[in-house]
Amino acid sequence: MSLTLRPVAAPARHRLRPWSSAAGRLFVAYWGSLALVDLTRALPGAVAFAALLLLTVVCSRHQPWTAALAVAAETWLFEVGFVTHSYGALTPLHPRDVVALVVLGVAAAAVARSPRRSGPAAP
């Protein structure tokens, strides 16, 4: 009697899907924001903000709202320029910075996945 070992595929729910996880989206938002800030340095501020807004919406889509707000906060940090100051020190908030945070947060929450209901749907 001989034993033969055959590879068994992992069930679909256990396969690694980094883009669908919140951590994968935060990773893309971080490095994407860093790249966008560098690429749009010579462009007007509105173009750079629009690029970061688009990145926020793409990374927040179909995520839980908490993950979507984390993506918005992360891209906002790049918008205010925390990587350009010495030692990563944030400057005092200006009204423009608060507006940018609200716009990014609202856009992220708008495309986030709504929480699932428990139980059957009401008629």
Structure tokens at 15: 């396969």
Q: Mean pLDDT across the stretch 83-102?
A: 76
Q: What is the DSSP letter of 81?
A: T
Q: Whole-angstrom distance between the N-terminal and C-terminal Cα of the chain?
A: 60
Residues 6+ apart with CB under 8 A from 32: 55, 59
Residue 119: pLDDT above 60? Answer: no
SS3 content of the chain, % helix, strand, coil (to 5): 60, 0, 35
For the chain, the domains span 44-114
Q: What is the pTM of this model?
A: 0.73
Per-residue confidence (pLDDT) for residue 32, from 0 to 100: 92
Contact 111, 57 (CB under 8 A): yes
Structure tokens at 18: 């980094």
Per-residue confidence (pLDDT) for residue 120, from 0 to 100: 53
pLDDT per residue over 25-62, tens digit each? 899 999 999 999 888 888 888 898 999 999 999 999 98
The percent of residues in the chain predicted with pLDDT above 70, rounded, is: 70
Per-residue confidence (pLDDT) for residue 88, from 0 to 100: 64
